[in-house]
Every structure is written in structure tokens, then in C-alpha cells.
């Protein structure tokens, strides 16, 4: 956790120096103005956070490429296991648009990184923030996990949820052995018994319950702990290309609409891509409540409460106002895709 925080601070300094010297990051270098006065071409770096099925679908269908091509944007893709790693690349100018859970978005703002939140993608009640234990575990509550080894991706929405959940139960982080593992890494640790519980998300948790009889100990849905998932953009990139945020959100909307109207096709696509059981992915898709809406005062209040909890726990070092990094202009003016 300390290493991640130091990396963010260092990247914030680098980003600030780049701005002062007028480097314009990667965008200027990748722009190619047409000599005939036509539309300038530029690269748009899109990132998939956690190999999300919705993004994989949009990438497969080419919806982002279609939208950005209308405004001179050429899409370049990258993949990240979770928000913290993605934020580091965004700060270095290698990511322009993606999505983040509340933990990574808050950490980025607390470290003065150039992240702007654009829209609400999910309230994060279903399919996210699920604590599972092996089939043979006798644990019935969070208190039963005291002193146990728990796999968790620190600095993510999973981490924020865990802090909130144990606070509800009158517990603290030092009551547990938290093992820093990304989702792909946690699979082997959980299946081998190297950890006693896993704070995870779908499709990983649903696959474990279906495949190995793992049991859900508790979840954000059970505890009624919302964890807003937000679309985000790199602040300087949005300032240089004001039309790009709307293009990104239109691509997202096409994926959301398609998933609602072609559920069976989407389930088959994700199951094949993830090499997972189709019935398990059906449950995952059913629990995916994607929206793409303006960020409301209620969501901002939840986000602010999360920031205050992270400050209290020592994960971030200064109080922040989450409204300062939010811009709903693009989503509020977005025209329906149909």
C-alpha cells in the first residue's frame, strides 16, 4: 500500500512538470494535422479495467472505434488487472479513458492525479464486493475471520468495501492478515488454501461458487454498501479534446443497450472469452446493472463518505472534495444512441 501511494505521488510530480513545460503529454506527439486543413488525427488510449465483459464486448464490436473515428480519434487498447495500476498509467499519459471503482478514483484525487469522473456506470451493489470462503470453511461472519488470511486487491473498490464492512462489524484492518493479490493471482491462492477468504467480484466469485462450492460469507448487496463505479477520463486529454468524452460515453452506451437487448449472445461471448461455464456467466450478466448516468448528489455523497473513511483509515493522507474532480457535462448532453 505504501509503495502504491509513493508511486502515485511521484507520478503526480511528473505529470505536473510535464504540464509546466508544455509537453502536452502523448496527445500532441500522436496528433497528425491534415495538410489540407481537414480534421486532425490523434490517438485515444482506452483501457479495460479488470477485463470487464462489457468493455470486451464493445471492443469486439468496434463501437468505441466507430465513435472516435467520427472526430479523428484512433483507438489504442490496453488491459489492467485493477484500478491502481491503471491510474499510474493514466498519470503517465498512457491511458485517456476507462472506468474506476471508488477506491482508485479517490486515491487518484488525493494524490493530485489528473482524473476526471464523467458518469455513473453502476451503483456497485450486485456482482461487486463479495467475500467468499472455501466450501470447508466454518466461518459464518466477518468476526470469524479474525487473524485469518484474506486475499484482497488493496486500493480498489474491494478494499473500500472491506473497510466499510468490518467497520459495521466493529472490527479493524489490523484484526486480519490482508494479502495483496489481484483477481487473477487470487484464484490459485484461494483454490490451494493459501488464503482463508477472498474479497472479490464477479465473474471470479461466481465461478468459485459454481466450480468449487465456495460460499458467500457476505457482500455489498447483503450489507447494503454501495460502491459507485464511474467512467473516467484523463483531465488534460479532455481539455485538449472536449468532444472525446461524449464519444467515449456513446461507445459505452451502445454496449449497455446491446447487452440488455441481446443477453443470450452476450452471455455466450463472455463465457467463451473467459472460458467459463455459460450458466455462471448468465448469473454474472444478470447481476450487472450498468447504467451510464450523470453523477447525482446522492452518489457524490456516497463517494465523499468513502473518501472520509479512507482518510480515517490512513489510506489517503488529506481530506478531499470529490465534487472537484467530477464533470457531468458530456453525459448530460449525450444524445440517445437510438
Residues 118-161: tens digit of each pLDDT: 999 998 888 889 999 999 999 999 999 999 999 999 888 899 99
pLDDT on residue 37: 45
pLDDT on residue 19: 40
Q: What predicted TM-score, i.e. pTM, was given to this entire model?
A: 0.80
Both 114 and 234 in one domain: the answer is: yes
Both 219 and 235 in one domain: the answer is: no
Both 212 and 262 in one domain: the answer is: no
Both 296 and 210 in one domain: the answer is: no
| Residue range 274-291: mean pLDDT, rounded | 82
Would residue 337 count as lying in a domain? no
Would residue 281 count as lying in a domain? no
Exposed/middle/buried for residue 37 (C-beta within 10 Å: 0-12, 13-18, 19+): exposed
Both 15 and 72 in one domain: the answer is: yes
Give the contacts of 71 (CB within 8 A, at least 6 positions apart).
Answer: 39, 241, 243, 244, 247
Please give the grid coordinates belonging to residue 266: 452476450
Domain boundary among 188, 206, 223: 223
Both 24 and 114 in one domain: the answer is: yes
pLDDT at residue 298 greater than cutoff 60:
yes
Would residue 316 count as lying in a domain? yes
Would residue 278 count as lying in a domain? no
To the nearest whole percent, how much of the chain has pLDDT over 90?
64
Q: What's the sign of the alpha-carbon dihedral 300, 150, 186, 220? A: negative
Both 327 and 263 in one domain: the answer is: yes
Residue bearing cell 485493477: 82
Higher-confidence residue: 329 or 50? 329
Both 82 and 219 in one domain: the answer is: no
Q: Give the domain CATH number at 306.
A: 3.40.190.10
Both 235 and 163 in one domain: the answer is: no
Both 183 and 41 in one domain: the answer is: no
pLDDT on residue 167: 92
Work out how many domains the chain is built from and give that number: 2
pLDDT on residue 84: 82
Stretch among 79-93, 176-190, 247-261 having the lowest mean pLDDT: 79-93
Both 109 and 10 in one domain: the answer is: yes
Q: Residue 156 in contact with residue 83, Cβ under 8 Å?
A: yes
pLDDT tens-digit readout, 212-228: 999 999 999 999 999 99
pLDDT at residue 20 greater than cutoff 60:
no
Both 219 and 313 in one domain: the answer is: no
Would residue 285 count as lying in a domain? no
Would residue 256 count as lying in a domain? yes
Domain, as residue range, for 141: 130-223
Would residue 307 count as lying in a domain? yes
Would residue 234 count as lying in a domain? yes
pLDDT tens-digit readout, 51-65: 778 888 999 999 999
pLDDT at residue 18 greater than cutoff 50:
no
Please give the grid coordinates belonging to residue 57: 464486448
Cα–Cα–Cα angle for 194, 200, 202, nearest 5°?
Answer: 125
pLDDT on residue 85: 86
Amino acid at each position: 500500500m505504501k509503495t502504491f501511494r509513493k508511486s502515485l505521488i511521484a507520478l503526480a510530480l511528473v505529470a505536473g512538470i510535464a504540464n509546466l513545460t508544455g509537453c502536452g503529454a502523448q496527445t500532441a506527439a500522436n496528433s497528425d494535422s491534415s495538410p489540407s486543413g481537414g480534421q486532425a488525427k490523434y490517438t485515444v488510449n482506452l483501457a479495460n479495467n479488470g477485463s470487464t465483459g462489457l468493455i470486451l464486448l464493445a471492443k469486439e464490436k468496434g463501437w468505441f472505434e466507430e465513435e472516435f473515428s467520427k472526430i479523428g480519434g484512433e483507438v489504442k487498447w490496453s488491459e489492467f488487472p485493477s484500478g491502481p495500476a491503471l491510474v499510474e498509467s493514466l498519470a503517465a499519459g498512457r491511458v485517456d479513458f476507462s472506468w474506476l471503482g471508488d477506491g482508485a478514483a479517490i486515491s487518484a484525487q488525493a494524490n493530485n492525479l489528473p482524473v476526471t469522473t464523467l458518469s455513473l456506470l453502476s451503483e456497485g451493489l450486485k456482482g461487486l464486493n463479495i467475500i467468499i470462503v472455501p466450501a470447508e470453511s466454518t466461518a459464518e461472519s466477518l468476526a470469524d475471520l479474525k487473524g485469518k488470511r484474506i486475499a484482497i486487491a488493496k486500493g480498489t473498490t474491494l478494499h473500500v468495501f472491506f473497510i466499510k464492512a468490518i467497520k459495521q462489524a466493529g472490527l479493524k484492518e489490523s484484526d486480519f492478515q490482508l494479502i495483496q493479490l489481484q483477481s487473477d493471482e487470487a484464484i490459485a491462492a484461494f483454490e490451494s488454501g493459501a488464503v482463508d477468504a477472498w474479497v472479490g467480484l464477479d465473474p471470479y466469485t461466481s465461478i468459485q461458487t459454481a466450480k468449487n462450492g465456495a460460499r458467500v460469507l457476505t457482500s455489498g448487496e447483503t450489507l447494503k454498501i454501495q460502491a459507485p463505479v464511474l467512467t473516467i477520463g484523463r483531465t488534460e486529454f479532455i481539455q485538449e479534446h472536449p468532444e472525446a468524452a461524449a464519444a467515449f460515453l456513446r461507445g459505452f452506451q451502445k454496449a449497455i443497450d446491446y447487452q440488455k437487448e441481446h443477453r443470450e449472445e452476450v452471455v455466450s461471448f463472455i463465457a467463451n472469452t473467459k472460458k467459463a461455464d455459460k450458466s455462471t456467466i448468465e448469473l454474472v450478466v444478470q447481476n450487472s446493472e450498468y447504467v451510464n448516468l450523470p453523477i447525482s448528489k446522492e452518489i457524490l455523497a456516497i463517494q465523499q463518505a468513502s473518501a472520509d473513511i479512507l482518510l480515517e483509515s490512513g489510506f489517503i493522507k488529506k481530506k478531499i472534495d470529490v465534487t472537484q474532480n467530477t464533470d457531468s457535462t458530456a453525459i448530460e448532453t449525450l444524445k440517445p444512441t437510438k
